[in-house]
Amino acid sequence: MDTPPAVNLRSKTRRALDDLNGATTSPPSTPLKTTRNSPYLPTPIETIVLAAFPVILFFGTVFSLLSPDVRSSEYDPAAQAHVQDSAPSYFARKSNLFNVIFVKRGWFWITAAFFGFILTHPATAQATARVQGTLRWALVTTWWFFVTQWFFGPALIDRGFRWTGGKCEIIEEKVEMGEGDAKEVFTAVACKASGGRWRGGHDISGHVFLLVLGTGFLLSEVGWVVMRWRGSRREERSVVMTDGATKTATVEAQGLKGEPVPGDALGLGGKFAAAIIALSSWMLLMTAIYFHTWFEKVTGLVTALAALYGVYVLPRFIPAIRQVVGLPDRSMSPIKAPVNLPELVKAAFNKARSNGDLTYYATQVTVLNANSTPFQLRFSPALANKPVAQKPKKTDEPRKPFDPFESPEKGPLFIAEIPSSSGHNLVLNKFAIVPEHFILATKEFKQQTDLLERDDLAATYSCIEAYRQYGEQHQGYNSELYAFFNSGSHSGASQPHRHIQLLPVARMMDGLPDGARWDVLAKQLGPQHVSGLPFLTFAETIHRDMTPDELHGIYLSLFKSAVDAVESHIGAENDSGNGGARISYNLAMTSDRLAVLPRLAEGAAIFKDGTAVGNLALNGTVLAGTALVKNEAEWDALRSGGDGDGVQLLEVLSKIGVPKDSGGSHTKKL
């Protein structure tokens, strides 16, 4: 049996490692920006937004000093307003409708706007997003309640007033006359109810506090979500991980976009929130011009900003808090597969098959025991007659190679595009061994040998998640989906246009004998379960609440491990220094596992009685635990051991990857 070619592999792996160190998205030569914002401070865009509050207060204060009407109007320090009978503006009157209906009931409007947004926007449809958003609202609301309403007795505003020497005028007069107790009135509301007036002390501007807190809260909750949904800005937030490392928060994958239509991005709830933000900003300006001293306004501002820092910045560097309250748009991904994807795939497959637009190859199947690992072996004699693309004759004029994934929207194999993403199409496999086999292909041509990007993985997982959710809604439906990717000359890849293939696990089980012990291999990857496999695999647990960047980071880590394994196995003597493609590898994804298998060969010869009778080639379905042969001699040879003996299959498996004795299978769990 031949040894797999190893020429140039060291230089190939070097290029892959250089890509990991310099770029994580296509094109691989693009440098990756490594500088991050401090997790302890607001991001640049947050700083700009937050700076608007002191700017408004400063402008209002300057205006009040320069405006002749405001300067000529008598100001009552006790009332913290101009004398109402001669107020310089309608908005200077405490009885104006905006103050009475909106500001005095401000937290009601803030709450209505928040829940109107979080309960209606598609980006916050996940239960996790809504629960964590509600927790953040509860924290901000608690701070508002403590400051303005009650804090184990009088509110913090009232306590602060008394602590700084403030008194209720009428009660103090009664005390001097021996008719009352200063402790009788401890709040501004009680003082006013008794006919008195607050005097002395420092009174935090409750209006400024409310308007800044509410506006900042809505901007934080709505702003990040809308920006990520539209893909209009790169992620700026950084977080401290449990191991102390600082990483980009990447609530949304870099470069992912929703439909670039403002109305769709905001939604009805977002528009209502925007209106509340605009009105709050206007009333903040009116407060700055007509009410309170500059120091009262500043302390109101600082008290509100302290809460916003605690809810939106503090969790970034305290992982335990972040795990509970999350960050705005933490669970959001604008790449969403259709919720009825299984129905769409089934309907498209049946229609295309009945119309003759695709070919389904029926198979015989058995299960072989490859050193305690159950492997499906399928045989389809009709595959030997599968059409093969003819190479153009030398006399032909140069022409563009046929690309089956170019503009498939008008073709009979088209299923759908991923909503809210301009990057991917879903199409049927024209030559199907497994019914309902479909493909996720990039709309633009991208190389199959380039590193996968964040949206490739996010779109793939969204298909897996769509099947899972469909299964939850339809009891008894096997909703598992197996995805695999072939990259490189030894991986079984056949098309240069980047694509990831997806197989319904229920259809992968078609034809299995009753009681057959088989399940998707990738789900079982781990030293204790697959110790019999002769090649190295690298796998890590994933889950549906991961962000696209977290998923992409796991992929890069697994890929780097695969590169290191190939480089270590091939050795320095094969370094030619002339570059080349990356290593060959297969990737598999299920709902809870991501796995990478580095490849050194596509397959190996099959023997019977010492004579080669064919060749077994393997692609990414090897990580599902399946293999396919095209002629009866191969079928018989691989089953020749009897009783499911997979000795010869194991021999082939031992030649396609890095040998197990190079380091062992690796599984990580978050």
- What does the alpha-carbon distance between residue 404 and residue 623 come to, in Å, rounded to a whole number? 25
The confidence score (pLDDT) of residue 194 equals 56
Q: Where in the chain is the domain with CATH 3.30.428.70?
A: 9-20+337-385+404-668
Contacts of 104 (CB under 8 A, 6+ apart): none
Q: How many residues does the chain have?
A: 670
Which sequence positions are flagged as catalytic? 207, 292
Q: In one letter, which amino acid is 510?
A: D
Which pLDDT tens digit goes with each residue over 441-450? Answer: 999 899 999 9
The confidence score (pLDDT) of residue 670 equals 39
Q: How far apart are the first and last CA of the chain?
A: 41
Quickly count helices (H) and strands (E) in the chain. Answer: 20, 22
Give the CATH fold of the 9-20+337-385+404-668 domain.
HIT family, subunit A (3.30.428)
Is residue 332 over pLDDT 50?
A: no
Q: Which residue has the higher pLDDT, 366 or 408?
A: 366
Residues of the chain with pLDDT > 90: what percent?
A: 47
How large is the average pLDDT for residues 615-625? 95
How large is the average pLDDT for residues 205-221? 95
Q: Which residue has the higher pLDDT, 338 or 75?
A: 338
Is residue 150 over pLDDT 70?
A: yes
Question: Which of 158-167, 189-198, 355-364, 483-492 is least confident?
Answer: 189-198
| Phi, then psi, of 478 in degrees rounded to 5 | -75, 105
Q: Which residue has the higher pLDDT, 646 or 388?
A: 646
Q: In one letter, which amino acid is 335?
A: I
Which pLDDT tens digit goes with each residue over 264-284? Answer: 577 889 999 999 999 999 999
Q: Which residue has the higher pLDDT, 642 or 328?
A: 328
Distances in whole angstroms, Cα of residue 312 to Cα of each of 329, 332, 588: 12, 17, 36
CB 436, CB 355: distance < 8 Å: no
How large is the average pLDDT for residues 468-474? 86
Q: Which residue has the higher pLDDT, 342 or 574?
A: 342
Which tokens go with 177?
């006359």
| Phi, then psi, of 538 in degrees rounded to 5 | -130, 125
Contacts 24+ apart (CB under 8 A), 157-162: 157/188, 157/203, 157/204, 157/206, 157/209, 158/186, 158/187, 158/188, 160/201, 160/202, 160/203, 160/204, 161/188, 161/198, 161/201, 161/202, 161/203, 161/204, 162/186, 162/201
The confidence score (pLDDT) of residue 197 equals 66
Residues of the chain with pLDDT > 70: what percent?
A: 77
Q: Residue 169 — very low, low, confident or very high, per pLDDT cuts 50/70/90?
A: low
Which pLDDT tens digit goes with each residue over 529-576? Answer: 455 789 999 999 998 878 787 899 999 999 999 999 999 888 744 443
- 250 φ/ψ sector (left φ>0, alpha ψ -120 to 50, else beta): left
The confidence score (pLDDT) of residue 3 equals 43
